[in-house]
């Protein structure tokens, strides 16, 4: 078998996280094909089976067999939607990468509109479920609050962070690294990487098959993730500035308390053991030292993080008369997968 058709690089990569969605996947695939074919673009769909325990994988196997534009990654166990999406992103080869839910709550028919918007000169187009069809009190309300908090903290004001359906230019996806349940913050990370972001209302349907994988506890995880995101955005490359502030504050308080102690002793004859300020001063002195050391450790850690993985501390939009390193990376990748000459 020649590998040409499998390996020719498609224009679009659809990424679908799948966790126990055996009933909806065939419908989804049909809808995807119906939406993608008229665009006249070449495409691939990457289904990531996130440790499903129903018949999802068998369904995917069948799809992959009948169409080689269907790529499947099967996880050993359930690693979560973020991991599933990250796996899809990593193997996506298209110039545009579009994640979408497997449950058909998003409508593949919106894909051409997302692409058109992207072509207006954006790097990311985020779907906005303007008319969301989920439970009002347990899903929509917390999500509304969440979106507003996330928007405020990250500085990227979107109506709907949680909508999986989005369109990304490939470079942006390559520059983003996901952890925890951070797929919701993709636009925020994209913004940190310098992306131009647009929002587009998309259709949303109630779930017809299977059940939702999330409940209210998701809200708390989102809030904790937000803390990480904010810290990384504000102090990711300069943690000592963050901890240093507390160190200075504590040092100031320690100095004040100890000075007070000295004044009490020298001018009023009040001994150290008779008033609390001495101990409080010592407490702040130790706390300040701890903050300082913490900051220094964080600095060391940050350097290891960036340098061991050669992560850039900047992102480039264009190169003129220079080869973009990603092309160089791709060349290297292409060389490493070329089989050695026979004989
Ligand atoms: N999903 C996944 N792994 C998980 C949870 C969810 O791959 O651990 C997938 C799920 O199959 C669906 C998408 O992520 O395609 C969104 O999940 P769901 O529809 O349950 O979320 P909701 O729409 O209720 O927020
Ligand atoms: Mg859903």
Residue 50 Cβ contacting ligand 1 at under 6 Å: yes
Residues 58 and 300: their CA atoms lie apart, in Å, by: 47
Residues 185 and 217: their CA atoms lie apart, in Å, by: 17
Residue 39: other Cβ atoms inside 10 A: 14
Number of domains in the chain: 2
Where in the sequence is the domain holding 118, given as residue range(s)?
A: 12-234
Residue from 14, 16, 18, 19 to probe ligand 1 pocket by mutation (most atoms less than 8 Å from CB): 19
The label of the residue with tokens 């000592």 reads 240
Residues 264 and 255: their CA atoms lie apart, in Å, by: 14
- DSSP string for 173-221: HHT----TTGGGGHHHHHHHTT--EEEEEE-B----SS--S--TTHHHH
What pLDDT, on a 0 to 100 scale, did the predictor assign at position 321?
79
> pTM for the full model?
0.81
Non-local CB neighbours of 47 within 8 Å, separated by 6+ positions = 16, 18, 25, 60, 63, 70, 71, 72, 73, 102
Residue 210 lies inside a defined structural domain of this protein: yes
Residue 117 lies inside a defined structural domain of this protein: yes
Residue 105 Cβ contacting ligand 1 at under 6 Å: yes
Same domain, 177 and 74: yes
What pLDDT, on a 0 to 100 scale, did the predictor assign at position 115?
97
Same domain, 178 and 142: yes
Same domain, 158 and 253: no
Residue 6 lies inside a defined structural domain of this protein: no
Same domain, 55 and 128: yes
Residue 1 lies inside a defined structural domain of this protein: no
Domain finish residue from 200, 234, 268: 234
Same domain, 266 and 145: no
Residue 84 Cβ contacting ligand 1 at under 6 Å: yes
CATH of the domain at 131: 3.90.550.10
Same domain, 199 and 251: no
Same domain, 85 and 204: yes
Q: Write the residue with the smallest CA distance to atom 13 of ligand 1.
A: 101
Condensed to tens digits (0 to 9), the pLDDT of residues 177-202 reads: 888 788 989 999 899 889 999 999 99
Q: Is 57 within 8 Å of 77 (Cβ atoms)?
A: no
The rounded Å distance from CA 98 to ligand 1 centre is: 16
Name the helix (H) or strand (E) containing 335. helix 325-337
Residue 341 lies inside a defined structural domain of this protein: no
Given the DSSP bridges, would you call strands 124-129 and 197-202 parallel, antiparallel or unpaired? parallel
The rounded Å distance from CA 103 to ligand 1 centre is: 8
Q: Write the residue with the smallest CA distance to atom 19 of ligand 1.
A: 212
Mean pLDDT value across residues 202-225:
86
Condensed to tens digits (0 to 9), the pLDDT of residues 276-332 reads: 999 999 999 999 999 999 999 999 998 888 888 777 777 777 778 788 776 556 666
In which band, very low, low, confident or very high, does the pLDDT at 343 lie, cut at 50, 70 and 90? Answer: very low
Condensed to tens digits (0 to 9), the pLDDT of residues 20-36 reads: 999 999 999 999 999 99
For 149, the 3-state DSSP assignment is: helix
Residue 199 Cβ contacting ligand 1 at under 6 Å: no
Domain finish residue from 234, 252, 280: 234
Residue 247: other Cβ atoms inside 10 A: 21
Condensed to tens digits (0 to 9), the pLDDT of residues 224-258 reads: 888 888 888 888 889 999 999 999 999 999 999 99
Domain finish residue from 209, 234, 259: 234
Ligand nearest to the CA of 47: 1
Residue 216: other Cβ atoms inside 10 A: 11
């Amino acid at each position: 078998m020649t590998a040409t058709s499998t390996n020719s690089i498609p224009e679009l990569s659809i990424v679908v996280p799948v966790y126990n969605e055996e009933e909806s996947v065939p419908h989804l695939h049909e809808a995807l094909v119906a939406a993608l074919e008229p665009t006249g673009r070449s495409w691939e769909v990457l289904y990531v089976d996130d440790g499903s325990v129903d018949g999802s994988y068998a369904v995917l196997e069948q799809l992959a067999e009948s169409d080689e534009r269907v790529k499947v990654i099967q996880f050993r166990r359930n690693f979560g939607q973020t991991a599933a999406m990250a796996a899809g992103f990593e193997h996506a080869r298209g110039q545009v990468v579009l994640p979408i839910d497997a449950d058909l709550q998003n409508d593949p028919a919106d894909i051409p509109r997302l692409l058109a918007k992207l072509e207006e000169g954006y790097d990311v187009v985020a779907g906005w479920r303007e008319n969301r069809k989920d439970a009002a009190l347990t899903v929509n309300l917390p999500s509304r609050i969440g979106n507003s908090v996330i928007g405020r903290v990250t500085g990227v004001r979107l109506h709907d962070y949680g909508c999986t359906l989005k369109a990304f230019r490939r470079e942006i996806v390559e520059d983003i690294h996901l952890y925890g349940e951070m797929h919701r913050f993709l636009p925020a990370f994209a913004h940190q990487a310098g992306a131009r972001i647009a929002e587009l209302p998309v259709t949303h349907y109630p779930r017809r098959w299977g059940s939702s994988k999330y409940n209210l506890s998701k809200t708390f995880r989102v809030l904790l993730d937000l803390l990480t995101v904010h810290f990384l955005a504000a102090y990711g490359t300069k943690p000592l500035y963050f901890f240093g502030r507390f160190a200075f504050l504590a040092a100031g308080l320690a100095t004040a308390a100890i000075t007070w102690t000295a004044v009490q002793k020298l001018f009023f004859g009040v001994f150290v053991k008779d008033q609390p300020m001495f101990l409080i001063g010592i407490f702040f002195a130790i706390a300040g030292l701890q903050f300082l050391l913490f900051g220094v450790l964080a600095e060391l850690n940050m350097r290891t993080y960036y340098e061991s993985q050669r992560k850039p501390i900047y992102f480039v939009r264009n190169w003129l008369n220079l080869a973009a390193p990603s092309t160089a990376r791709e060349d290297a990748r292409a060389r490493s997968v070329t089989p050695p000459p026979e004989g």
